[in-house]
Structure 1
């Protein structure tokens, strides 16, 4: 009997504590809610009054805001890019199906080929009509080039844009065959390396992959520094 009375007293005490804590919390939350509603109502009302009594000023302000956005967009669009220079790294070449990801340099001498793939300096840059020729060592960046197949994609992520090519031809040519560097009336990409891949010494042939451009912005539409 005594234990029952003690339990009843404890429950009554807990209810009083809950009321003491709950009421202030409820009042606080209600106050915050009312203040928030009042704030947003006042902002909306102020904007409504401004448009009613000062329509011209509001219209001018909105026009200036739109003009500012246009200026920002035009500035971004007219930002000038530097044209790649000899010896510079100017992008990344990737052939996913062959597991190739390599930096691309302007030039194909020993210095450039030590660090990645190199573009033959006498060939056109991606985005121009003609043959872009890029080479790499068989024992490094192009060691798996023979895993690429016709129809596979080659991507060039360059400092001035992205160019996507589709492999259209794969062949083996003599190391004296200069047709690798031949110009073209189309926008094509030629990748080549030494062949056979496991040959030690001066290789007799070249492994040549040719691809046609399927996506990329023409160089004539890119705003390079110093271009007229």
Structure 2
């Protein structure tokens, strides 16, 4: 009995050390696991879209220099331009909550690491219907939860600038697609996942915005034809 007790006393420090080491290891990988959780949230993964361009793993990412300071003549009518999948085609800005980020046409983890994603199952900025943009809560939409009704949101593109005003704050489950449908109202829907440090959240938060102003950079074709 004495030998067993002595052996237990000798082994105890090693067992405690092993236990502490295991706990430290788990704590050390927690931040990475959290990041990995966010990166795998592609928001619109249920909307399967085949990339239109060739490239690495079928995705050709194109970054574009969007002019956010255009001062030329504008028109309230014009044509929107649908970009290639994986192309940055816009910049989103909301000064009220310090959001300023590139917007890509497409969805998935690769694009969400670079900016906001305008899902191709919706419409482009300024288009007729619902423009749906999502981004990660720990990066580009970190302050989306601070947005308020009445705040102004702008989308800058190569074909025009479009001004929206927040009309409704929303929250919904990840499986609920009612706010993500194309619809027939000219609106902008922004959303991200709920910030939850302790576990993966299935809740989405965001806002819906009414389109208040279209400023196209090119003269409408019908007006140009009338002048001829």
- Structure 2 match to 1:142: 141
Question: What is the CA RMSD across the aligned residues, in angstroms?
Answer: 2.4
Q: Find the aligned partners of 2:211 and 2:128 in 1 and give their Cα distance.
A: 10
Using the alignment, how far apart are the partners of 2:96 and 2:175 within structure 1? 29
Q: Which residue matches 1:216?
A: 214
In the TM superposition, residue 129 of structure 1 has moved relative to its aligned partner by: 1.2
Q: Distance in 1 between matches of 2:80 and 2:202?
A: 41
Aligned counterparts of 1:176 and 1:152: Cα–Cα separation in 2:
27
Q: Distance in 2 between matches of 1:188 and 1:82?
A: 17
In the alignment, the residues of structure 1 paired with residue 172 and residue 110 of structure 2 have an alpha-carbon distance, to the nearest angstrom, of 25
Aligned to 1:166: 165
3-state SS of 1:214 partner: strand
Please tell me whether Structure 1 or Structure 2 has the larger radius of gyration of its CA atoms.
Answer: 1
Report how far residue 143 of structure 1 moved. 0.5
Partner secondary structure for residue 112 of structure 1: helix
Report the Cα distance in structure 2 between the residues aligned to 1:135 and 1:163, rounded to whole angstroms.
Answer: 17
2:107 equivalent to 1:101: no
CA distance in 2, matches of 1:141, 1:104: 10
- Alpha carbons 1:128, 1:219 under 8 Å: kept: no
Structure 1 stretches of 5 or more lacking a match?
Answer: 1-79, 224-228
State the alpha-carbon separation in 1 of the partners of residues 204 and 218 from structure 2.
Answer: 33
Change (3 A) 1:135 1:221: farther
> For residues 172 and 102 of structure 2, what CA distance do their matches in structure 1 show?
25
CA contact (8 A) 2:98 2:143 kept: yes
TM (norm. structure 1) is 0.58
Distance 2:110 2:182 in 1: 25
Instruction: Describe the shift of the 1:110–1:151 C-alpha distance in structure 2 as closer, same or farther (beyond 3 A).
Output: same
Cα distance in 2 for residues equivalent to 1:168 and 1:209? 8
Residues 116 and 136, structure 1, Cα contact 8 Å, conserved in 2: yes
Name the TM-score, length of structure 2 as normaliser: 0.58
CA distance 1:81–1:164, shift in 2 (3 Å):
closer
Give the deviation of 1:82 after TM superposition. 6.4
Q: 1:49-198, aligned counterparts within 5 Å?
A: 83-195=82-194, 197-198=195-196
Secondary structure, aligned partner of 1:178: coil
SS of alignment partner, residue 111 of structure 1: helix
Distance 2:173 2:218 in 1: 35
SS at match of 2:204: strand
